Structure 1
Amino acid sequence: MLLQHWRMRLHFLWLVQLLTIATMEMSGPFWPLYFKQLNHTYLAEISSQWASILGGLAYILPLVAAMFSAPFWGKLGDKYGHKLMLLRALFALGFSQLLLVYITDPILILLVRFGQGLTAGTIAASQSYAAKMSPFQHRGQIFSRIQAATAAGSLLGPLAGGYWLEHMEMTGLFARSAIIFLMLFLTLYCLLPEDNKKQSLQKTSKNSPEVNQANILWPPLVLLAAICLAQIAKRMPQSFYALYAETILGQGSMMIGILYSATGLGILIAAPFSGYYFDKLKNGQDKRNFLQGVCLLSLLLMLLQSQINSFYPALILRFFWGICLAAILPLLSAQLSAQGGIKAIGKQVGISHSAIKLGGIVGIATGAVIFSLLNWQWAFATIALTYVLLLWLLSKQTATEPDTREEVKLIS
């Protein structure tokens, strides 16, 4: 039976997104180790340094590819349906995992990863579908819940991958991932209604108005820059935080994993509530103040982090930073999607994800450079500076302030 109510569809997409991210993250932490194990003709042995470089490319290449392809797939989804884009993304993920079962050449593996980035993109497709098939006034909840599913998958995936790799080779993990994606593909095909048919949209179109000045808090270019900056700040610690935890906090791999998980746990807990609260705010200025307040709190947390050299205070700061991250990026993306109207949701979400991918690449590179050239205190201070720039951007307003009375009428 098809899932008819929008809340049922959102819960279903939440589960699909969780399983998708968890399946991809099963192999995520282990790419350098896998490259080190490979033997091939033009390199008799891969050194640890080369394994690290190849592992880094395995992370970065899909991001680069997705940065260019996301708007194209979003626009195509607007025309032919975002359910089709979800099916396409799941098929691409499953097919790429199947190829990796048989391909052992490092260069070909990197090409497969690049192709996966070009053709996949489940997060953007899920957000576009849910936003298109749900009432407009719940858009903040939609984007936040998909973010929560992504955080949950990022928590569970490495744990499952580490457990299974104790009992099988990496290729066995790829084969298991391909089977999971096939099952998700078939389940989604059977249960999710089409979103390119008029009768599917009639129930939500009256609650999903086209672009209205009351829904626009920032100009599109300001929002894109803010999304990019938010992702830079989020990704910057990824390249150095493990070294900071090992050398400054004096922790081993288990405790470092707990520190990383604390941020994901904060996102998972806070995301649904931040989206719900944001949707309940009727006044545009209140929404702006909410996001600015969260950014200011993130800035203060990073300044505190730059002075911390013990485990438990760092753990607390990581958790509260996760709570802040649960609000900033998904709500900015929801604002950008609102400016395209129901007919251009996919295009707007795709553009948003391009900014997210660009921010991720810049953030990882910037964090690595600052940490290597200066020290960990400067690295966290740079993240705080990023939030200063983000606060400045969010102080920008549209040419005409929203009419809050019109917004109340629209939502009611």
Structure 2
Amino acid sequence: MRSPSARTFGVLCLGQFAATAGLTIVVPLLPFYLARLGTPEAEIPWWTAVSLAAPAVVQLISGPLWGWVGDRFGRKSMVVRAHFGLGLAIALMALASTPGEFLACRVLQGACGGVVSATAAYANAGAAANRRGRALGALFGATAAGSLLGPLAGGLLAGRLGFSPLFVAVAGMLALSSVLAALVLSEPPGHAPQRQSVRVVAGILLRARESRSMLLAGLAAQAAIYALVVVFAPHVERVTGSVAGATAWVGVLQAVTWLASCAGGPWWGRRNDVRPAQAGFAAAAAGCGLAVALQAVASVELLVPLRLVQGFCFAALVQSVLHVTARQVPDRGCGTAFGFGTGVLDLGQVLGPLAGAALAVLLPPAAVFSLIGALLGVAALLAVAGRPKPGADSPQPDETREKVLR
């Protein structure tokens, strides 16, 4: 029973952490950064929205394609490529002098990135079948750690050092992880080239009830979580009654959310190895939805335990979707499956903020939080609908699944 060595997994987690920290380091401060680039004040919200959405939109196409390239030519090269490409895009951000140039760098980020699907495909291929949940869980724990420390570093250092040195430092960390991946990683054993197109693999995932339901559940959950991002800070401002108080509390609440996700990622991963991932997703989405709905009526102090529950439950969602999608295709096609799955999740990342902004204009805050919680409840029901039937909760043997790709 094979499993990635500690050194190999350390390299993967370092890259996942560096990529997430680099991507999130500027996000909370993006309006301030765009203002420094000379963006007219009236245009800053538009440029902020477009800059946030651009990488996810591009990855709808690039993610499945890079996954197919990895299945065809090797998983190690995709890890090296993803880290290097993301580092290059972030390094170029340090040279941007206009909002248009920064947006071009964000588009390049989406085209060259895909760190999540690349590292997940490598870890999935290198781990034993009964330990793949743990592998994905550890990677998403590293993602949560990057999401925790990236904005914290950005908030503490951007005012003192400026944005360009931060971008250069992150690019250097990604270049280091790319070099380490090239030197330390080896191609997972048993790799056989995948010759089928993205369309064929996508067709398999969409026809199979388990993966189709989980992809829809993941899309709904991602849209809900990213809709919450839009309305959460203004809600905290209303609760605290001041911008200064809201700024401090939002930082604390974001930190406790991601801290809980750091612990939740490995826990849910281990659970997915012994129980159906659909059940874990459903329980987590329901818990997350309840925690979100209650935030509408909670005091600022009570938001702390609610965000802890939200963060712990959120850690199950993405990894469970990828865990299920990878089971529907042979191992040699899991990179394409991961790329397609992350592309669907990226669509939720694009639609969620748009929905959140529209709801915030049309409805009172309590109704908005309730609807977001209800959408997470819908995601839980979709996952339950895709649960394996009794006696069929083990994946198909590779020999059976291979026939589908021929």
Same fold (TM over 0.5): yes
Residue of structure 2 in register with 1:260 after alignment:
254
Question: Per the alignment, in what secondary structure is the counterpart of residue 23 of structure 2?
Answer: helix
In the alignment, the residues of structure 1 paired with residue 90 and residue 347 of structure 2 have an alpha-carbon distance, to the nearest angstrom, of 25
Q: Could you tell me which runs of 5 or more consecutive residues in structure 1 were left unpaired when the two chains were aligned.
A: 40-45, 202-215, 408-412
Residue of structure 1 in register with 2:264 after alignment:
270
**From 214, 217, 230, the counterpart of 2:221:** 230
In the alignment, the residues of structure 2 paired with residue 386 and residue 136 of structure 1 have an alpha-carbon distance, to the nearest angstrom, of 32
Shift of 1:174: 2.1
TM-score by length of 1: 0.85
Q: 1:174 to 1:153 in 2, by over 3 A?
A: same
Q: Deviations 1:118-171 (Å, cap 9, x if unpaired)?
A: 111111100010001111111222222221111110111122223332332322
Q: 1:178 to 1:390 in 2, by over 3 A?
A: closer
In the alignment, the residues of structure 2 paired with residue 314 and residue 217 of structure 1 have an alpha-carbon distance, to the nearest angstrom, of 39
Residue of structure 1 in register with 2:295 after alignment:
305
Q: What pairs up with 1:8-407 in 2 under 5 angstroms?
A: 8-39=7-38, 46-195=39-188, 198=190, 218-250=209-241, 251-281=245-275, 284=276, 288-308=278-298, 310-397=299-386, 401-403=390-392
The count of residues paired between Structure 1 and Structure 2 equals 380
What is the identity, as a one-letter code, of the residue corresponding to 1:245?
Answer: V
What is the identity, as a one-letter code, of the residue corresponding to 2:270?
Answer: Y
In the alignment, the residues of structure 1 paired with residue 47 and residue 117 of structure 2 have an alpha-carbon distance, to the nearest angstrom, of 27
Question: How well do the aligned residues superpose, as a CA RMSD in angstroms?
Answer: 2.6
Question: Per the alignment, in what secondary structure is the counterpart of residue 340 of structure 1?
Answer: coil
Shift of 1:24: 2.8
| % same residue | 25
Q: 1:273 to 1:109 in 2, by over 3 A?
A: same
In the alignment, the residues of structure 2 paired with residue 38 and residue 164 of structure 1 have an alpha-carbon distance, to the nearest angstrom, of 18
Instruction: Check the 8 A contact 2:70/2:77 in 1, yes or no.
Output: yes
Q: 1:379 to 1:184 in 2, by over 3 A?
A: same
Instruction: Check the 8 A contact 1:9/1:130 in 2, yes or no.
Output: no
Q: Deviations 1:61-80 (Å, cap 9, x if unpaired)?
A: 11111122111110111111
In the alignment, the residues of structure 1 paired with residue 18 and residue 394 of structure 2 have an alpha-carbon distance, to the nearest angstrom, of 41
Instruction: Check the 8 A contact 1:35/1:106 in 2, yes or no.
Output: yes
Q: Deviations 1:347-378 (Å, cap 9, x if unpaired)?
A: 11011101110011111111111112112111
Q: 1:181 to 1:289 in 2, by over 3 A?
A: closer
Question: Per the alignment, in what secondary structure is the counterpart of residue 306 of structure 1?
Answer: coil
Q: Deviations 1:6-64 (Å, cap 9, x if unpaired)?
A: 4542333122211221123222222221221224xxxxxx3333223212222111111
* Residue range with higher mean Cα deviation, 149-158 or 242-251: 242-251
Instruction: Check the 8 A contact 1:62/1:114 in 2, yes or no.
Output: yes
Residue of structure 2 in register with 1:213 after alignment:
none
Q: Deviations 1:201-235 (Å, cap 9, x if unpaired)?
A: 9xxxxxxxxxxxxxx99532212111111211221
Shift of 1:397: 4.3
Question: Per the alignment, in what secondary structure is the counterpart of residue 360 of structure 1?
Answer: helix
TM-score by length of 2: 0.86
Question: Per the alignment, in what secondary structure is the counterpart of residue 194 of structure 1?
Answer: coil
Residue of structure 2 in register with 1:211 after alignment:
none
Q: Deviations 1:266-298 (Å, cap 9, x if unpaired)?
A: 1111111121122123xx5xx544433333322
Instruction: Check the 8 A contact 2:214/2:386 in 1, yes or no.
Output: no
Larger radius of gyration: 1
* Residue range with higher mean Cα deviation, 265-274 or 96-105: 96-105
What is the identity, as a one-letter code, of the residue corresponding to 1:221?
Answer: R
Shift of 1:405: 8.5
